[in-house]
Amino acid sequence: MPDILSSIPLNAIRVFEAAARLKSFTRAAEELGISQAAVSWQVKALERRLDQALFLRLPREVALTGSGERLSHAATQAMTILRTALTDLSETEEGVLAITSFTTVANQWLAPRIGSFQLQHPQIAVRLDTSARLVDLARENVDVALRSGSGNWPGLATDYLFPNIHTPVCTPAMRERLGGLTRPEDLLSAPLIGVPEEWEVWFAAAGVGPRRENAAPPRLTGDSQTLEVASAIGGQGIALACPFFFAGDIAAGRIVTPFEIYAHYDDGYWLAYPADRARAPKIRAFRDWLLACVADDPALAPYTRRQV
């Protein structure tokens, strides 16, 4: 036996429910924002499909038939349940901001500040995911991303945050152990931490030729700057790091930056979000808050002039 629901448009049930609840085609039309004729047409189409009358058309009003009364009760219950579910979903969706970010950006820069966003917007809960994986914001349940690159990603709106720069960092003791590190060339034979290709970029920026072919490879490569800098703080060698991510460690003297030489690895870090959701209140609130944080961060001041 065919399912009768599959042949009845939901909109017809919606129109019938309003007309039955308000006992008026005119008031139903006003509530739904359609014409009275459209209400009448939808009701007639539903009656034809069910092969029975749902309303008695009286001179100045309409009244439900027995069948109409039965359907009205069920339709009102169903629409109430549906409205409640949709409202709950909408409020839940708008009440949670899902952020994806690289581990270092999240741990060293965003996490210490995110509390102020939550104080300003207590109605928005934050879910922060740290991953090197490139999340598809159009398909996955994530609202915004902090990522590095060109800032030109199809379907996404972007706001520039700060440059993606690295410079060597180590403990004061390691610097002294290596003779003071007065020239970039001194690092060619130093115990390095990190990805070899990233070190080659820094050496090129410093005007230093490639390391010797027989030089020992970096003794540790982590999946984030946070791990590599932690190893440097432990006295294991010299790491590459973004100086403003570790401004607290530098200010406290746990690490030093021997050279004022910065290698740029791409066009910088960006806030990215789906262009068609740019006006969503929670995304606008986070964007405004984040850009204000960037503008107010004194550690970023020497580096925020965008490099073209």
pLDDT reported for residue 10: 83
Q: Mean pLDDT, consecutive 10-residue segments, the chain of 308 residues?
A: 63 90 89 90 91 88 91 86 62 78 94 95 93 78 92 93 96 96 92 92 89 63 88 95 95 96 94 91 96 94 63
- The pTM (predicted TM-score) of the whole model is 0.68
Please choose, from the candidates 150, 164, 145, 134, the residue with its C-alpha nearest in 3D space to the C-alpha of residue 242: 164
Half-sphere exposure of 161 (CA within 13 A, CB side): 27
Domain annotation for the chain: domains and CATH numbers: 4-64 (1.10.10.10), 94-162+266-296 (3.40.190.10), 166-264 (3.40.190.10)
pLDDT, tens only, 56-65: 988 878 899 9
Q: DSSP class of residue 132?
A: S
| Residue 146 · residue 100 · CB < 8 Å | yes
Q: Say how far apart CA 239 and CA 229 lie, in whole Å.
A: 6
